[in-house]
Structure 1
Amino acid sequence: MDILFVALVPFLASEPTLFSGFGLSTILTLAFALPMPVEMVVGASALVQMANNLSKLALVGGGPMLG
Structure 2
Amino acid sequence: MIASETPDFKTLLQQQEILRQVIESISSELELRPLLTRIIIHACQLLGADRGTIGLVDEENNL
* TM interval, short-chain normalised: 0.3 to 0.5
Structure of higher CA gyration radius:
2
What TM-score, normalized by structure 2, do the two folds share?
Answer: 0.42
Could you say which structure has the higher helix fraction? Answer: 1
**What TM-score results when the alignment is normalised by the length of structure 1?**
0.40
